[in-house]
Structure 1
């Protein structure tokens, strides 16, 4: 078995380190079990006699002189992928001993091999996989992209790799006591060397995939133009043989034809499409593809047009419209040097002084009517005068070589560019002064700016324009200079970064997964002297996360477990500062089904006299396999939900047989396996936890076929109501008290009722103090205070009537007031609605409008039923009416008052 010696090019080498960044230790179970095996074969050299450390800290020589970080290019031999990888040849021990490395061996097979020999194994690197450790629990290290040592994470392969990916090769040795692995492993990659997905790019810019006539002399000759055409794969520009010797790069161009035709061409015509053969060389040898591009006309509207003498003309003649005299270059090419280009251009004076004499002229340079290679037009400015202007800044003439020093904005008194130091005179420094105009634009965008911007961070183009009449002469001149204002942050002491209140001094941040954006704990302060820089104005914070392929991709924040790069990117300063941010998986300590419709305590006698308390979880029998959702408690005490696609759960029946969770009966949760990601799972399930699949629905006393079953299930799921005394019993026909009804309405609005919420605010205590029968420590106290404050309920003098049963019309009145508070229009034609119900005339006068609204919308008396206005509403009817009005819980209370 031999390794490929092809180096794969610089693109391949970059892929190795990129894939290793952030493969940091996140604490998981050992990946490799290095067991003992047979005794050494006779004659084997016992080089380990000098101690395990001599081997573990030795160095490895690889076949063909290759080194760690090498990249191979994916290849096929016919239909079969070629196996490639670093092949260890020998080990040099720390004590100068040298031993051969004999055989590739999957790590799982180490225990069956003879002692006294060296073996090697391959691992596919995966940041989400477990650490690879030696038998003593020591992590095996590899080199990351920044040269730091990181823990190897990956999966052992059963053969030399063939597929694109990033790999490590680990060398093992077995003495008489057991197996050992070298402290450090080499890495290599196999990159996709295929030309599939390749694109054509212009002048090495992967963002530019358009091609146009550029004005070069003989520029339409494919032999000349192809120097501007490149090939990119996966956003990386390949090397062409033109610059490094014939066919010694990654590819060369073959024949080119007009698209969908077969005749080979040598000259490009504008507005036509062409297909060119791309033939792989070197790493891409044996591969080819056909790529198509359109050759377009030059667009003058976007062209960079430079005029002779910067567009300043002095003399008796009118401004010229002769292209050769007027234009120096267009997109860097001199049109006068190319007759084809020159023939496509025309110039017309489109603006002139009112006098028609000297001054500022506008000239439009446009494509001729029959232009084959150029399109559109662009207007330029020309100054024509009797005399030229001498333009200086602080005594120095502003010629084309004039520069201005970078302005350090962190200085106490920055040396800003001062437009008042600009002086313009006629012809020379001793001539008469002239008026001038200073024009400031953003150098990067071309947007207009002001002189005040010259004291702000940025890159500014300052243009001085002279157009003045001095002693009867028209004086003209132009000069420009680029002004760079920046905060010079050259010392790391200028940047203060803290995480969770602690200073970061080594550019490494780490934390455990919480489900929230950990970036919110990061604080950045950049200052120099008395100046504090502002995020968004002076710098931005950019976050990238390493994906499963090793690439760094933009991220909105730091949430999921994995490796991140947090870069402080200077807008008004340089250089950038980068931090490594590692988010470790959260350790989970308990697990429970989260969507059971009811729960009860469950007790199991595990051994005689030993009773273990667990929980019985009820799920409704549907005839289909059930897939419960689970919630987990983390080691931080918080509750987490693991997505279903990250879980694998197995169940056993009462006899201990593995079964699907489907039929009626009791089940135990056998195993819960969580895929590597945000959670590190090491929980043993409570033996007393049982899942019961039953025909009951939502509560054990609510049959599936009850008319109220669906509403009760919804109300429980939305948190409107619970079981009696926290049990799995609902008591559907039990009457509801006023206290419990306001609790339902309070929960509908987003409130929660539990022991943690018993303490009331001063305002809430003041509200309920009017009611003698409301204990401020009762579970319903907060709901009573809220409902009273909202005008949903009123008391009976100095009592609230907490234990009084609620009639249908009373509940309808409370619900209508609640609906109004939530923004619902409850107005209806009361008389007409109630006249349509047999007992509508029995509704009390105070409740008529509310009951009519409830009837009109089908909340009560639906399907021809009676209202029963004075009858007490029982629990099943209350939640049915509530769910009919509002099937989903709101967050009104939470959003209005987080302390409610």
Structure 2
């Protein structure tokens, strides 16, 4: 809202002025972050886009800080990489973009608290969507004076919380023992909190926001675990409110550092040579898609046969169909008979002259063709690739015509990335490569 006015001084001189009033939507959520004293907070563009989307605006284009925080609280920087390389200060005229193809962008913005500062910093901003519509928003950053509780784990491995850790923080903050805590749930893209978790199919419940988890009675804090989202690595910050036995409350943070798995939890032969595949293999094993080849062995470097690959694809994508026969060379009663019959019925497995050659090693381009057809059957949304997507590979001309679209599409989707500038279409697919491809498909 703009209001014009005329002002008069004590000598009778006049001038014209304008009052601009921005009325923010009451439906716009606050972007909140929590950190510890002297710890930097790095913004996440998706947090701002979620606020924009929740308020029924189009995709966020950029924001501009309306009111900078007092320097006695801290400063905003763009391009922060470390405390010794803070980047450049953010001003009120700086456009901070959501899309990382534009600069400066939000994922590179950091708030660095003033040394020793604790409290809550409120920063106003104006957001602009891709249609040019604007709204007013608030960023609240809580700088806690108490110590974080920190855990370290690997991808797909749970962390069970320690009551002792929480009690020690409570004692430091209130001089009393802990009674219970309530959690603010992390984004599911990072992982989830579970109660009495044993496996992905065996747990009592998902932890709920606002529910009290007690030190000495049910539901017990000691039964709460964090399970990282599949494939996630990074640092997750989970805010909580602790309550002492005397009724005092305080705010705290659990930080969980999730590192990518470098070796398999299940197979001794998926070692440091297969760092690139370990997480995928463990994930598929946990889902019952792949099995071992012996006691604690997976044989990651062995070629996978055509029959075995169809079986893995069948399990991974939960394929089903009414069948009417099978290929001539697929023996009835074989462990992959049903999987190949379903794949044949769905048009995924085509074979040649009625034969499928299930015990023959599978080429990489045939694997991509099978995956591509299966994704079409399951209606997994993916943008079709073209020859231009293969331009960077020196052996692109070796891709057979029947597989070109499949290979290009999976390359475009980053399901297949090649190696040393080659796609190696006629090379045999290994069991490790199979796991990585299927894992990436499941993560689309």
Normalised-by-shorter TM-score class = 0.3 to 0.5
TM superposition score normalised by structure 1 = 0.21
Of structures 1 and 2, the larger Rg is shown by 1
Whichever structure has more helix as a proportion of its residues is 2
